[in-house]
Amino acid sequence: MCTIQNQLLPKKMMLLLTALFLFETTCSDKESESFAAISVRDTTGTIVFRNVQIVDVEQGTLEGPVDVLIDSQKIMAIGADLEAPSGAVVIDCSEKYLMPGLADMHTHVNYENDLLPYVANGVTTILNMGSPSNILSMRDQVNSGGLLGPTIYAGAFVDGTGNRGWIVQTTGAARSAVGDIKEQGWDFIKVYNSIQTDVFLALMDEAQIKNIPVIGHGVRAPGIKRIIQEGQSMIAHAEEYIYAYFNYSNDASKIPDAVNDTKTSGAYVTTTLSAYRVIMKQWGKPSGRDALLAVDEIQYVDPRWITSWQNSGAYIYNQGNLDDNYHFQQQFVKAFHDGGIPLLAGTDSPTIPGGIPGFMIHDDLAELEKCGISRKDVLKIATMNAGNFIAKTKQDEMPFGKIQTGYRADLLLLNQNPLIDLKHLKNRAGVMVRGHWLSEEELSIRMTELAANFK
Ligand SMILES: [Zn+2]
């Protein structure tokens, strides 16, 4: 557990220090009162991580021990024996590991209650791929510090049929949807399956004019090869390749073409293999879904999700099994990675019954490792690749995904080295999100409170 050196601290910082330290010392009632009085919104400030081992996710090496100075939500300095500014909180991190926060680049957050479990699992960035009407205000509240959560990037859902988001069936409707989406301040356009080719092309053209990136499914009519050529910058599931590139054939001889086309286009691929696994577990099996809803972590899921999961007929009445598709995805995901296609981690949580927000990121990283991707590359996929993707698609964003001066202070402090075992990502001393430090003890209290509110 981290220890905190006592400097000459102003009173507010002393309160903060008490909060950070509460469960490392014997709790008195007085301290508990102090803790209750502290809001996480107040825990920004200048913080120095002292004597920490930095996990270099690019090289897969450790650097340290060094000091890392945080201020104004940013990494301000990295070096040996940094002088702590007056009033700084100094966290002694001997034998601890500091790495960039994780990014879940495929979520469907819908309620404020969904946010904390991401942070508590080390997820400091999410890309929300649906378009609930409240997500933009949630995003802005997180940005302004009024709401504790990962940094949110929000995609606006567009399809050619159905009743979700924007439905576009003509080129004119596509252009006008892009105008609305841009004006409302969405970060991305998320396309879904059923947009006709001419409509998709108009949408993409208008999106390029209006400078808003397009991501999402493998739109069936034009197909993946075409949409990534036209500039779609991310395919949201590996599974989409089966439908919109390989024509349901699972033909491994076509993998090199898929690698080549995707690499040439510069598109990223979010594999969401964890989501596929959750679907497999309940495919044709009501008992499989029951088992998914019986796990301990379910206590942290908003009851409105649980009700919708229980009432959903999705997957449990299907026939057959998905094993071949799953193994084929593992095969081409590895080939994509080896071929230099940048992958992203993503879970599709909490939209699939049993897809537990936050916790599921660890399953996703385990799935990537099971494909044969090295641990160091999995860590890079979950951090730096997400930062690179946002830097490529959006202007004026604070860079993130690396421990580097000027980068957003999204950090995990771990008790064990994650390069040795990805399970060590769950052995945390704390999480810093946008410069807000939350010790594991504070996160655990907040999670307990969240679960208690659901009862
Ligand atoms: Zn999704």
Predicted confidence at residue 131, as pLDDT, reads 80
Report strand pairing: 411-414 vs 268-270. unpaired
Q: What's the gap in Å between 352 CA and the centre of ligand 1?
A: 9
Distance CA 22, CA 220 (A): 55
Q: Which residues pair with 436 in a beta bridge?
A: 433
On whether the CB atoms of residues 181 and 215 are closer than 8 A, the answer is: no
Q: What's the gap in Å between 127 CA and the centre of ligand 1?
A: 10
Q: Which CATH topology does 102-393 take?
A: TIM Barrel (3.20.20)
Q: What's the gap in Å between 128 CA and the centre of ligand 1?
A: 8
SS3 state at 325: helix
Residues 6+ apart with CB under 8 A from 308: none
Q: What's the gap in Å between 80 CA and the centre of ligand 1?
A: 43
On whether the CB atoms of residues 402 and 58 are closer than 8 A, the answer is: yes
Which regions of the chain carry the CATH code 2.30.40.10?
3-100+403-453
Helix (H) or strand (E) holding 452: helix 440-453
Q: What's the gap in Å between 413 CA and the centre of ligand 1?
A: 29
Q: What's the gap in Å between 107 CA and the centre of ligand 1?
A: 6
On whether the CB atoms of residues 69 and 75 are closer than 8 A, the answer is: yes
Distance CA 384, CA 402 (A): 6
Distance CA 414, CA 369 (A): 20
List phi, psi (to 5°) of 398: -65, 130
Predicted confidence at residue 130, as pLDDT, reads 85
Predicted confidence at residue 43, as pLDDT, reads 55
Q: What's the gap in Å between 168 CA and the centre of ligand 1?
A: 19
On whether the CB atoms of residues 196 and 169 are closer than 8 A, the answer is: yes
Which CATH number does 3-100+403-453 carry?
2.30.40.10
Q: Structure tokens of 42?
A: 């107040």
Helix (H) or strand (E) holding 74: strand 74-79
For residue 357, pLDDT over 50 is answered with yes
Predicted confidence at residue 238, as pLDDT, reads 98
For residue 109, pLDDT over 60 is answered with yes
List phi, psi (to 5°) of 54: -90, 130
Predicted confidence band of residue 59 (pLDDT cuts 50, 70, 90):
very high
For residue 292, pLDDT over 80 is answered with yes
Which regions of the chain carry the CATH code 3.20.20.140?
102-393
Name which of 61, 48, 60 is nearest 2 in CA terms.
Answer: 48
For residue 129, CA distances in Å to 94, 98, 152 come to 39, 29, 10
For residue 181, pLDDT over 70 is answered with yes
Predicted confidence at residue 44, as pLDDT, reads 67
Residues 6+ apart with CB under 8 A from 233: 213, 214, 215, 266, 267, 268, 389, 392, 393
Choose the weakest-confidence range: 40-44, 258-262, 391-395, 412-416.
40-44
On whether the CB atoms of residues 225 and 265 are closer than 8 A, the answer is: no
Predicted confidence at residue 175, as pLDDT, reads 98
